[in-house]
Structure formats: C-alpha cells, structure tokens
Chain A
Amino acid sequence: MNFAVILFPGSNCEVDCVHVIKEVLQEPVTTVWHKDTDLSQFDAVILPGGFSYGDYLRCGAIARFSPIMDAVIAHAKAGKPVLGICNGFQILTECGLLPGVLLRNQSLQFICEDRFIRVENNQTMYTSLYTKNQVLRIPIAHAEGNYYADPETIAALEAENRVVFRYCDAQGNPTPESNPNGAINNIAGIINEEGNVLGMMPHPERLSEVILGGDDGLALFQSMLKTWRNQL
C-alpha cells in the first residue's frame, strides 16, 4: 500500500508518520511537498500534524490552498483514504472534506499529554482491527482541538455513526472531566459520509511501538492496510 505524507511549511509530525509506515507497517511511503500536484501513484494520503503556515489566520486556513490540495480533494472524491491527524484534521475541516471546525481549547492552553479515547465505530477502514468501545491511550498535542459544528451537523454525525473516536476516562466513560479541550460530545475524531476521510486530533503515529510507551495507535494503520488488501 503506497502512502503519501504531505509536507506543508510548518508541518512537524511528518517524520513520525513516515517512520511508522516504513519501519513498523513496512509499506512504501513518500513525503510529498505541498507544492507538488500529483498523487495518482498513491493509495493513501496522510495530512500530518504541526503548524502549517504558522497557524496564521486560522489553523489550516492557508494550507488548504496549497497546490497539492486539489490532488488531495480529488483523491478523497475518488473514495481513497485520506487521514488527517491534528493539524491535518484542521486542514480537512477548512477545505470542507469534513464538517465543523476546531476551536481554541476551552482552557486556552496547549495540551500535550496522553489521553484516553474510545473507539465508537469499528466498521471503518481505519478502525476495523479495533473492537467497538475499545479504550486507547493516545497522545494529544494541540491548542485548537475543541471540535464544534452546528447542532444539525452534530446530530447527523451521531446518527450516522460518524463520530469514530470520543474522549473518555480509563474505563471508557466519556465524562466531562475526560474531555481535554471542550469538544462537543467529547468528539476526538470524525469520518466523512463516504467513510474514506478521517480526521482526528490525537496522534496514533506517536504511539505505534511498545518501545515508545505503547502501540494503541498501530491498529489504525494496520486497519487501513487490511482494508486495502481486501479490496485488491
């Protein structure tokens, strides 16, 4: 499965993504500069975390107009996987591939720590190797992760099972205390209607090896690979 990791000026998690794909998943991966315009050789695209364009104006607002984004949108419209992690999620909402927006954390603080999330939907190409309601311990690192959308959009996301990950406590309860940033309904990750574009604030690529403290994130990449192999 041939992965592209898009590098914007200001991205800073692209090396972690490349490392996990290449060394842990052992699949081919290329870092693609945001000024490139062709993704036709790739099976999956990852928009990594970081601070594209210094978060100027709004997080992801300028990156969404990078030359590569037309190809990312075409890749998504063709039904192929697009995974946005952290700043990648923010870019996906700015460009309209996912609904809503990531607001400033309610605490106003940049939060960098491990948190628990619950797998709400394991019927996606990103989560098929998790069990439903499985609790993952996973790092978050953001100042704008407070997911917001209008009530109709939230109702649709919930009704269509498109909230894929929700912040929770260690036992899997999505309590107010376990919500790090004020996100509506403790939302940590959502998927588009077609099921091929996933945005999430937590960083699965940072917790995909036991030597780094845990591998709860690895099954996300393995799920993508398994789904892709099954389609061949």
Chain B
Amino acid sequence: MKFKASLNITLRPSILDPQGSAVLKSLKSLNYTAVESVRIGKFMEVVVEAADASAAEKMVRDLCQVLLTNPVMEDYTLTLTEV
C-alpha cells in the first residue's frame, strides 16, 4: 500500500524566527494590525510504500529523526493518508 505523509516542520517554540518576525513587521506596516504572530516553517509530502498505516508512520518518523528534521531546532506534525 502507498501512503502520503504530510509533514509540517516548524522551528521549536524556544527558537526565534527572524523570518517570521520580518513578515510580521511587514504585515503591520500594511496596517494589518490584528496580526499577532507569524512563524515560518516547511511543508513536505513524502510518499512511502508500506504494509499498513502504522508501518508507514513508523517509517516516516524514522526519516524525520534521521534526515528530514533536526530535533535540536525543529518540531513536526505528521498526517498520513492512503493514496
């Protein structure tokens, strides 16, 4: 079976996001005064072949641990759908 993993990778809350701050400033200068905060991250779609959903999730979490994210600075959320 094929599964598509959608990964939202964000900087950990303790880490400043200068890119997000710059975008926030820009929005404020456009008079969007209600905007409180902007954090910028990455989005990835990874398609894997696996026996079932739990095997697919295990594999993708492995990929995240080894290469796709750096746990020192990043967190991620994972959504899995069958394709």
Contact = CB atoms under 8 A, between A and B. Distances in A.
Interface range on chain B: under 10, 10 to 19, 20 to 34, or 35 or more? 10 to 19
A94 B70 contact: yes
B68 interface: yes
A108 B18 contact: yes
B55 interface: no
B15 A103 contact: yes
Contacts of B68: 57
Interface in B68-83: 68, 70, 72-73
A61 B70 contact: yes
A197 to B, nearest CB: 17
A104 B18 contact: yes
A150 B14 CA distance: 9
Contact of B15 (A62, A65, A107, A148): A148
B67 A57 contact: yes
B46 interface: no
A9 interface: no
A71 interface: no
Contact of B73 (A101, A106, A182): A101
| A contacts with B: majority SS | loop
Interface of A: 57-58, 61-62, 65, 93-94, 100-101, 103-108, 148-150, 182
Interface of B: 14-16, 18-19, 22, 67-68, 70, 72-73
29 contacts: A57-B67, A58-B70, A61-B67, A61-B70, A62-B67, A93-B72, A94-B70, A100-B72, A101-B70, A101-B72, A101-B73, A103-B15, A103-B16, A103-B73, A104-B18, A104-B19, A105-B18, A106-B16, A106-B18, A107-B18, A108-B18, A108-B19, A108-B22, A148-B15, A148-B72, A149-B72, A150-B14, A150-B72, A182-B16
